[in-house]
Amino acid sequence: MKSSYQYKILIFLFVFAFTSCNDDDGTPLPAEQYLQITNLHAPMTGGQGQEPSSGSYTKFDFATASVTTSETDWDIAFRATTIIVNGGSSTGDADEPERNGNAAAYIKSLPFSEVTSVVVSDFTQDSLEEGLAIPTGSGNGWYTYTGPPEHLILPIPGKTLVIRTRDFKYAKVEILSYYRDLDDSVAGNARYYTFNYLYNANENETTF
């Protein structure tokens, strides 16, 4: 309980800090967007049995804060537990969208609010040789898989995805749930992401 209380104070300070910052700049609209996306559906076909996984990725654009079908205006894309970025080269996976942007990512082992700046040298992009910028597999990236008997995919608390968008803007993302309406009691609820993110619309600005 003590930790949670401390935490509330932290958030408060954080929000306060960047509101006052905006006041100083005198900008009418905040350049930073703090939003929560709920139930982003990331279906997949195949992957069961010997069939290779397939199906199109659900693409997301930070600038418009929405899911998109655009072939160019997307930053990250989801298919089941896999998250790819619009930057780098194909990993050889079926139905991957073409990467035509400059997006990149890395995972920071800190709570969302404590990630206040971007380390540009930490970014990696997807590729066949190096794998995905956001690695898959239990404990490797953003989730752990509990195994039998529950078979749950649980986001690892304190893992923040730091994203460079296709056009050199920065965002940080914390995934909260992999299940529809945060309800992991039914297996059929899987592949619905809920996540918080903070997007800095100012190009090349590396602080949040």
Partner 1 sequence: MCCLRLSLLILFCGTQWLFSQAPTEVVLDSTEVENLNEVIISATRTKRQLSSVPLPTQLISAKAIAAANSIRLNDILEEQTGLLMVPDYGGVEGLQMQGLDNQYNLILIDGVPLIGRSAGTLDLSRVTVGNIKQIEIVKGPSSSLYGNEALAGVVNILTQTPKTGFGGCFYYRGGSFSSNDLSTELSYKKDKLGLHAFVNRFSNEGYDLVDSDDVNTVEPFHNYTFNTKINYEFSEKVKLFVSGRLYHQVQDNVASASYDGESQIDEWNFHSKLELKFNESWDSQLEFYATTYKAEEFLNDTAGNLFSYSDFKQRFLRPEFRTVLKPNAQNSFIAGVGMQFESLQRTDFFGYPKFNSSYLYSQYEYTKNDEFNLILGLRFDRHNEYTSQLSPKAAARYKFNDKLAVKGSVSYGFKTPDFRQLYFDFTNATVGYTVLGYNAVTTLIPELEANGDIASLFVPLSVFEDNLKPECSIGYNFGIDLGIDPKLKINLNLFRNEISNLIDTRVIARKTNGQNVFSYYNVNEIYTQGLEFNASLKFNKNTVLTTGYQLLYAKDKKAVQAFKNGEVFARLTPTSPAFVLSKKDYFGLLNRSRHMLNFKLSYHMQKWNLDSNIRATYRSEFGLYDNNGNGYLDAYDNFVSGYSILDFAINKTIFEHYKLGFGMDNFLDFNDPQNISNIAGRIVYGNVTINF
The rounded distance, in Å, linking the Cα atoms of 177 and 188 is 14
Tell me which residue has tokens 């749950």.
152
DSSP sequence for 121-138: GG-B-BBTTTB-SS--ST
Contact 43, 55 (CB under 8 A): yes
Residues 186-205: x where in contact with partner 1 by CB under 8 A, - otherwise, as a string: --------x-x---------
Q: Is 16 a binder of partner 1 (CB under 8 A)? A: no
Q: Is 125 a binder of partner 1 (CB under 8 A)? A: no
The rounded distance, in Å, linking the Cα atoms of 150 and 133 is 28
Q: Is 52 a binder of partner 1 (CB under 8 A)? A: yes
Which one of the spans 97-105, 117-125, 155-163, 185-193 is the region binding partner 1 (CB under 8 A)?
Answer: 155-163
Binding footprint of partner 1 on the chain (CB under 8 A): 3-4, 6-7, 10-11, 36, 44, 46-53, 80, 82, 91-94, 109, 111-113, 128-129, 131, 136-137, 139-140, 143-144, 146-148, 150, 154-159, 174, 176-177, 182, 194, 196
